[in-house]
Amino acid sequence: MRFKMESDVEAFREEIRAFIAKELPAASERPDPGKPGASEEYKAYVQGFQRKLAAKKWLAMAWPKEYGGYGASHMHQMVYNEEMAYADAPSLNMGVAWVGPSLMLYGTEEQKNHVIPRITSVEDWWCTLYSEPGSGSDLASLQTRAVRDGDDFVINGQKIWTSTGHMADWGWLAARTDPDAPKHKGITMFLLDMKTPGVSVRPLVNMADRHEFNEVYFEDVRVPATNLVGELNRGWYHMAVALDFERSSIQFSGAGRRELEKMRNVLKANPELAGARPSIRHEMADREIELTVATLLAYQIAAMQQRGLVPNREASISKNYGAELGQRVAVTRMHLVGLAGQLRGGSGGSVIDAATPYLATVSSTIGGGTSEINRNIIATRGLGLPRG
Ligand SMILES: Cc1cc2nc3c(=O)[nH]c(=O)nc-3n(C[C@H](O)[C@H](O)[C@H](O)COP(=O)(O)OP(=O)(O)OC[C@H]3O[C@@H](n4cnc5c(N)ncnc54)[C@H](O)[C@@H]3O)c2cc1C
């Protein structure tokens, strides 16, 4: 059986590919996002590319047109995300992903008028301040406090794993405003200027030696009450904003396909690698088949959303399958280069850097919902098993 997209979706895919071919610098010319100290160069590169996306209204692909978005269907969004992931293009923007959509629903007129245009014109870099050392999967237990004092709220506490916090101009902050209420009912959302006195961002370098996330500390940080978003103590419900974004996890198979293609080219150019490990061809064939499965799982979700259905367990299945497959692709890459794969940066005579992706993909089954939490969802909402 051959699956084909509608012709307008395929035409859109070609348009995106042509845009990427023209506007995205060659991989060798892109700054390394994780290299410690390279944040300004990386930020300029990402914002430069995203401004070009914004000029076509593609940056806010899912947003309604009246807010500067493209108003795309779920299939169009998915194809866009697939092509961006395949090209390794920096299209993720947290302002677009949740700050803007939340403001559209719950923001004051002033917030909408001031913040939303700055998101769509890529003026500000946003980070997400949710997780804390003791609150990740159980986010509703977060402890960072916001206490009203005159026209301000005073913030004290700590966040962790804040992706790109070291580059951020603004933070999307969840803080506890009522410590006596049940935990889901005492949280409030704030817009936080990251340059406010008392905010300190400290780097966390991950095991692949990359500076991608941070710890953020708040010591008596004063945030104007006008930066509160939505209702006091209703932040938990505002956080779970009903985004009309596609939830297919297509980025995993898009990126996996790129990596497998690279490996195929390496093997063609260095056939002796297969001599050292004949099973590598079978392993790569397995990954190819799995990538097709991951792609179809993702397509299924976009197709459901297109029909007005809300994917639930299906989104968890696709996320787990895609993230775990990304790790298997990285393992296959290690097997391709053999012992030299233990060395970083393709050194030691290795024709391709296998160690960095091997280490970097570990986090994909943690960020954006851990595999265990997703399995709980599949078990309870999918299989109807009782809660443990
Ligand atoms: C690359 C990356 C980027 C991130 N970026 C951000 C960011 O920008 N902003 C932000 O706020 N956060 C960010 N995070 C944090 C992320 O959301 C959390 O790491 C994630 O929610 C898990 O929380 P935790 O690390 O506290 O682990 P925990 O919740 O403490 O979990 C530890 C282990 O216990 C398991 N576990 C927990 N609860 C259950 C349960 N009920 N049943 C079964 N198993 C369970 C988990 O699956 C995990 O294996 C990022 C994380 C990563 C890896």
The CATH architecture of the domain made up of 7-92 is Orthogonal Bundle (1.10)
Which of 370, 377, 387 has the most ligand 1 atoms within 8 A of CB, as the residue to mutate?
A: 370
pLDDT tens per residue across span 159-200: 999 999 999 999 999 999 999 999 999 999 999 999 999 999
Q: Where in the chain is the domain with CATH 1.10.540.10?
A: 7-92
Phi, psi angles (nearest 5°) of residue 135:
-140, 100
- Residue 10 CA to ligand 1 centre (angstroms): 36
Q: Write the CATH number of the domain with boundaries 126-239.
A: 2.40.110.10
- Residue 92 CA to ligand 1 centre (angstroms): 20
pLDDT tens per residue across span 325-348: 999 999 999 999 988 888 877 655
Is the confidence at residue 252, as pLDDT, over 70? yes
Give the DSSP per-residue string, 230-258.
SSTTBHHHHHT----S----HHHHHHHHH
Is the confidence at residue 245, as pLDDT, over 90? no
Q: Is 376 in the pocket of ligand 1 (CB under 6 A)?
A: yes
CA distance 298 to 301: 5
What is the torsion angle, in degrees rounded to the nearest 10, for the CA atoms of residue 93, residue 247, residue 25 and residue 70? -70
Residue nearest to atom 37 of ligand 1 (CA): 137
Is the confidence at residue 26, as pLDDT, over 90? yes
CA distance 357 to 345: 10
Q: Where in the chain is the domain with CATH 1.20.140.10?
A: 250-382
For residue 157, the model assigns a pLDDT of 98
Which whole number is the average pLDDT over 67-96?
Answer: 95
Q: Where in the chain is the domain with CATH 2.40.110.10?
A: 126-239
Q: Is 219 a catalytic residue?
A: no
Q: Largest Cα–Cα distance of the chain, in whole Å?
A: 73
Q: Is 208 in the pocket of ligand 1 (CB under 6 A)?
A: no
CATH homologous superfamily of domain 250-382? Butyryl-CoA Dehydrogenase, subunit A, domain 3 (1.20.140.10)
Is the confidence at residue 242, as pLDDT, over 60? no
